[in-house]
């Protein structure tokens, strides 16, 4: 079901079936160009499929923005090992709820994207690693998988072409870290979700030590349209090097929060004003986290930015996972910083010392600042500890905790200073002779 | 120990999803599904899954302690998981959590004496655009208010 009304400014490519009756069923899917992209892919040599994805300028929608076609091209097709397609459906970046609606409303689109990837790299098995909290979505996906088997789109000798491909859902059990690709693979193998040292990257050594294509749900969901309408058509929807549309999860202090599909490069202020209906209560915009809590915050005056990977990077933040968190003038930035750090401290897997210790100390210092028990040197200390974490961990969780924290204390320093205890006059001791 | 026939069938299918010799991959789903049925990861569950997957109990403990959804103590029949992460916090998620603590008379991770309700403050559950949100067991509740919480608890009390 849909949780928010669509908006007329949306460009609906991945969400085109949202709102159709029985949009989850294979019949609705087939009646609306479903599996057309896959049928085209079946007639193309694998290199051509990857080329088409490269032309589309599709970049990873999980957060990193790595070009998907390039990622696929790293898989050694000639390797004698089995190859795997793995979907990262461990959506956990705070502020992000787009993969959930993609899987809930159009599960076959994800399966078709996986099939095309499987065809491109020669994989015969696919896993959808999905966060444990999304139990009802696992049920939706399992039904869709069953339908696809029944209609010959999965299993042995798919559509009489000799292609084999099996797909399974695999539940996680509560861990943000498992959204990091190498930790996800560890978890898929039944272990703690601790990241792997890379290289080798998953394309060469991924699931069960075999070559693996691993992408976010939304990335796979874009692939059927790319094959159906051509990579160039998809690329043309966005900005240079940032192809297509993307699902933005608008949350926080806007009048119409919701998940909206907009072209890459859509202006952030316009997104807040026109799509989100402006700030609620007629208040003023204070700041925006543009792509989930791992991204540095943008002050209101920095928000006149095109929402694509390169433009947001130029503005000093990241497009990330598309979770746009809007804050009005009443927002307490110290509380925001504390809450975000509590999250990263909770989710740090504890393997790398800078992340494990850094997040604990940052949480403690930020909490004491918030409680009015901080020392003047604490504000710089927060920035210094954060900077010392950058680039010193095996996975990006350390950076994801440090980068936004630096932005909070730099951009809203006065709020942290205002929390410092007022100087207490030292009383002259009463000397009793 | 044995599980229900439905769960046994599920387990039998599950182990076939992974390459030969890699059955350990079924561990986390098995633990979660077993927990759903038994109510907690009891020592018996650990022993049983250890025997079936040929993974040592210690290795299973390692895994159980890592994942936030796996728990060794039983929870209430209705487990309230209140998101207080940023998007929910901006719209009153933390206050809802405090309200529930007071209303149910339990703390974070607490269980009511009648075993009906338990409470947990959780991280982002993927409902940010429809905040504040919470889950009762696996069911999502969006745009939660105190009034809606009152009604929900009343309804749950009635059906049990």
Assigned fold of A26-236: Rossmann fold (3.40.50)
Any domain includes B30:
yes
- Residue A13 in this model has a pLDDT that exceeds 90: yes
pLDDT of residue B11: 96
Q: How far is CA A232 from CA A11, A56, A57, A119, B99, in A?
A: 16, 5, 8, 20, 53
CB B69 within 8 A of CB A174: yes
pLDDT of residue A432: 72
Taking the alpha carbons of A125, A129, A130, A136 in that order, is the dihedral positive or negative? positive
Are B87 and A82 an interchain contact pair (Cβ–Cβ within 8 Å)?
Answer: no
CATH of the domain at B82: 3.40.30.10
Are B66 and A176 an interchain contact pair (Cβ–Cβ within 8 Å)?
Answer: no
Looking at the fold, whether B60 and B119 belong to one and the same domain comes out as no
Give the domain ranges of chain A. Answer: 26-236, 245-328, 333-417
For the domain covering A245-328, report its CATH number: 3.10.20.600
Q: Which chain B residue's Cα is nearest to A168? A: B17
Looking at the fold, whether B102 and B143 belong to one and the same domain comes out as yes
Any domain includes B71:
no
Any domain includes B137:
yes
Any domain includes B21:
yes
Number of domains in chain B: 2
- Nearest-by-Cβ selection for B32 from A95, A171, A335: A171
Looking at the fold, whether B32 and B87 belong to one and the same domain comes out as no
A162: left (phi over 0), alpha (psi -120 to 50) or beta: left
Any domain includes B138:
yes
Give, for all 160 residues of chain B, the pLDDT tens digit.
889 999 999 999 999 999 999 999 999 999 999 999 999 999 999 999 999 999 999 999 999 999 999 999 999 999 999 999 999 999 999 999 999 999 999 999 999 999 999 999 999 999 999 999 999 999 999 999 999 999 999 999 999 8
Shortest alpha-carbon distance between residue A266 and chain B (Å): 19
Give residue A427's pLDDT band: very low, low, confident or very high (50, 70, 90): low
pLDDT per residue as tens digits for the range A39-53: 999 999 999 999 999
Looking at the fold, whether B86 and B36 belong to one and the same domain comes out as no
* Mean pLDDT score, A413-419: 97
Mutate which of B54, B62, B126, B139 to test chain A, going by most A C-beta atoms within 10 A? B126
Give residue A68's pLDDT band: very low, low, confident or very high (50, 70, 90): very high
User: What are the start-end ranges of the E strands in A90-188?
Assistant: 125-130, 155-158, 163-171
Name the strand (E) or helix (H) holding A297.
none
- Give the SS3 label for residue B38: helix
**Chain A residues within 8 A of B127 when measuring between CB atoms:** 97, 100
B85 to chain A, any CB pair closer than 8 A? The answer is yes
Q: Which residues contact A213 (CB under 8 A, 6 or more apart)?
A: A71, A72, A75, A83, A84, A85, A86, A117, A120, A121, A123, A202, A203, A206
pLDDT per residue as tens digits for the range A101-113: 999 999 999 999 9
- Residue A365 in this model has a pLDDT that exceeds 60: yes
Assigned fold of A333-417: de novo design (two linked rop proteins) (1.20.1440)
* Mean pLDDT score, A34-63: 97
pLDDT of residue A426: 63
Looking at the fold, whether B87 and B151 belong to one and the same domain comes out as yes
Looking at the fold, whether B61 and B130 belong to one and the same domain comes out as no
- Rounded CA-CA distance A350/A193 in Å is 10
Looking at the fold, whether B104 and B84 belong to one and the same domain comes out as yes
Q: Which chain B residue's Cα is nearest to A171? A: B29
B27 to chain A, any CB pair closer than 8 A? The answer is yes
- Nearest-by-Cβ selection for B123 from A91, A336, A343: A343
Give residue A423's pLDDT band: very low, low, confident or very high (50, 70, 90): confident
- Give the SS3 label for residue A350: coil
**Chain A residues within 8 A of B19 when measuring between CB atoms:** 82, 125, 208
Shortest alpha-carbon distance between residue A294 and chain B (Å): 12
Looking at the fold, whether B101 and B155 belong to one and the same domain comes out as yes
Looking at the fold, whether B123 and B84 belong to one and the same domain comes out as yes
Task: Name the one residue in this structure whose structure tokens are 């409470």.
Answer: B119
Looking at the fold, whether B102 and B35 belong to one and the same domain comes out as no
User: What are the start-end ranges of the E strands in chain B?
Assistant: 78-83, 117-122, 134-136, 139-141
Name the residue range of residue B10's domain: 5-66
Any domain includes B115:
yes
pLDDT of residue B119: 98
């Amino acid at each position: 079901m849909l949780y928010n009304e669509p908006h007329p400014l949306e460009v609906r490519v991945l969400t085109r079936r949202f709102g159709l009756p029985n949009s989850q069923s294979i019949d609705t899917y087939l009646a609306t160009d479903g599996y057309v992209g896959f049928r085209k892919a079946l007639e193309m040599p694998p290199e051509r499929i990857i080329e088409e994805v490269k032309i589309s300028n599709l970049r990873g929608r999980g957060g990193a923005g790595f070009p998907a076609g390039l990622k696929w091209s790293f898989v050694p097709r000639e390797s004698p090992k089995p190859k795997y397609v793995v979907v990262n459906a461990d959506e956990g970046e705070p502020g992000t709820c787009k993969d959930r609606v993609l899987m809930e409303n159009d599960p076959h689109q994800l399966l078709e994207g996986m099939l095309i990837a499987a065809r491109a790299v020669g994989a015969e098995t696919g896993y959808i690693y999905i966060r444990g909290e999304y139990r009802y979505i696992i049920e939706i996906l399992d039904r869709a998988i069953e339908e696809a088997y029944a209609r010959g789109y999965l299993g042995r000798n798919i559509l009489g072409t000799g292609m084999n491909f099996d797909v399974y859902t695999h539940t996680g059990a509560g861990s943000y870290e498992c959204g990091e690709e190498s930790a996800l693979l560890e978890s898929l193998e039944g272990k703690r979700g601790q990241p792997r040292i890379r290289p080798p990257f998953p394309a060469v050594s991924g699931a069960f030590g075999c070559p693996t294509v691993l992408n976010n749900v939304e990335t796979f969901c874009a692939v059927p349209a790319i094959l159906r309408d051509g990579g160039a058509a998809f690329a043309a929807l966005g900005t240079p090097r940032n192809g297509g549309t993307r699902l933005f999860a608008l949350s926080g202090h806007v009048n119409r929060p919701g998940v909206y599909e907009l072209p890459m490069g859509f202006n952030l202020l316009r997104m807040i004003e026109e799509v989100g209906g402006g700030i609620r209560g007629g208040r003023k915009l204070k700041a925006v986290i543009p792509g989930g809590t791992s991204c540095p915050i943008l002050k209101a005056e920095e928000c006149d930015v095109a929402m694509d990977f390169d433009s947001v990077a130029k503005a000093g933040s990241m497009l990330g996972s598309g979770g746009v968190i809007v804050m009005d003038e009443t927002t307490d930035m110290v509380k925001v910083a504390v809450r975000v750090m509590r999250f990263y401290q909770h989710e740090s897997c504890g393997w790398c010392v800078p992340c494990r210790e850094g997040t604990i100390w940052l949480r403690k210092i930020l909490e004491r600042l918030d409680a009015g028990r901080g020392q003047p040197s604490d504000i710089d200390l927060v920035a210094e500890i954060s900077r010392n974490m950058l680039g010193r961990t095996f996975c990006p969780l350390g950076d994801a905790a440090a980068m936004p924290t630096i932005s909070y204390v730099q951009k809203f320093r006065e709020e942290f200073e205002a929390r410092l205890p007022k100087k207490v006059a030292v009383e002259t001791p009463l000397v009793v002779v | 120990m044995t599980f229900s026939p439905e769960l046994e069938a599920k387990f039998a299918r599950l182990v076939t999803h992974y390459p030969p010799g890699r059955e350990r991959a079924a561990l986390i789903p098995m633990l979660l599904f077993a927990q759903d049925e038994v109510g907690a990861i009891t020592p018996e569950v650990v022993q049983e899954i250890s025997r079936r997957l040929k993974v040592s109990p210690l290795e299973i403990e390692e895994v159980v302690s890592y994942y936030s959804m796996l728990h060794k103590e039983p929870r209430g029949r209705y487990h309230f998981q209140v998101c207080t992460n940023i998007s929910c916090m901006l719209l009153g998620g933390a206050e809802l959590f405090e309200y529930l603590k007071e209303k149910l008379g339990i703390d974070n991770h607490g269980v009511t004496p009648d075993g009906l309700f338990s409470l947990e403050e959780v991280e982002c559950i993927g409902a940010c655009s429809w905040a504040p949100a919470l889950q009762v067991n696996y069911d999502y509740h969006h745009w939660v208010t105190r009034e809606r919480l009152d009604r929900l608890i009343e309804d749950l009390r009635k059906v049990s």
